[in-house]
Amino acid sequence: MKNELRSLDLNLLKALGALLQERSVTRAAHRLAISQPAVSGMLVKLREHFGDPLFVRTPDGMMPTARAEELAGPVTQILRDITQLLNPPHFDPLSATLTFTLAATDYALSAVLIPLIAELKSRAPGINLAVRPIIDGQVTQQLARGDVDLAFLTPETTAEELHSRSLYQEEYVCVAHRAHPAAQRLSMTLEQFCHYEHVLVSTEGKFSGPTDEKLAELHLERRVGVSVNSFHAVPEILRLTTMIAVLPRRLAMTTHDLVIIPMPLTVPGFTKSMAWHARRHQDPAHRWLRALCVEVSQQDDITLAT
């Protein structure tokens, strides 16, 4: 008996499997869609390899030897495993157990990830999410290394080598605490907008943003009294002061004590997108997660529009 894998190819195992099932060289050949002499030749090689006749010709057909019957189980299992290996991987969210690492700003956490988590837990209870903050200049490397599976960015901050998909267009709205005079009027002039003290969100501690650029075009400016690095601090500051803020609409709508007041000027919004590395592009689990992100984002679009 030969022990080298070199002398045993997969086609011989397929032939053995067919012979075990059909107990006939002719029928095995038909099943494999090759000629009878080809299967006969394969049987010769199998006999040489295993050092056993494997099948003995009898009036009732080709009867397997004890060695052939011994091989039947393992051969069937091996052929089944190889078939499974060659088939495209299937992803079942209900039975999947894995962890995705996502990189997001605190805005994306509230606007995208929290709705995503709600859907994820009902559709894929075994999938865990780890959320990391966006680190400027490192996201592309984190995605390439596999430290992060999916990042929530904007098209402007997405590296060209990454795959990306736009999720929705975000707009800015003016917000104040419900006890604020402007919140009770539900309207605000441009002069009042500039008069009230503002809270601004800036991860770099800046005191100006897109709103100030737009005001500058009109030769106006507002009073920015506080700059914070997190959107989540804004509602509490507005509750305790008479300040107002300009926030992304999706964020403003998730905070109950805040009232959205129509903006007295138009400030350009931004596109929220997700980005991932090519190594995860074809991954069925990753594709499923991306589709869910798109679906959840579009659901929020409908909610906001109504």
Which residues lie near DNA (CB under 7 A)?
Answer: 9, 11-12, 24-27, 34-38, 40-45, 55, 57, 61-62
Report, in Å, the least distance between residue 22 CB and DNA. 8
Residue 279: name the closest of 117, 141, 88, 126 by CA. Answer: 141
Residue 4 or residue 160: which is nearer to DNA going by CB? 4
Contact between 150 and 279 under an 8 Å Cβ cutoff? The reply is no
Sequence-distant (6+) residues with CB within 8 A of 134 are 103, 104, 105, 151, 152, 153
Contact between 225 and 255 under an 8 Å Cβ cutoff? The reply is no
Report, in Å, the least distance between residue 3 CB and DNA. 16
Residue 34 or residue 292: which is nearer to DNA going by CB? 34
Taking the C-alpha atoms of residue 190 and residue 264, their distance in angstroms, rounded to an integer, is 5
Sheet architecture: strand order including 270-276: 127-132, 98-103, 150-153, 270-276, 163-170
Residue 47 or residue 239: which is nearer to DNA going by CB? 47
Report, in Å, the least distance between residue 282 CB and DNA. 25
Strand locations in the chain, DSSP E? Answer: 55-58, 61-64, 98-103, 127-132, 150-153, 163-170, 172-177, 197-201, 223-228, 244-248, 258-261, 270-276
Report, in Å, the least distance between residue 76 CB and DNA. 20
Residue 54 or residue 274: which is nearer to DNA going by CB? 54
Residue 60 or residue 217: which is nearer to DNA going by CB? 60
Report, in Å, the least distance between residue 34 CB and DNA. 4
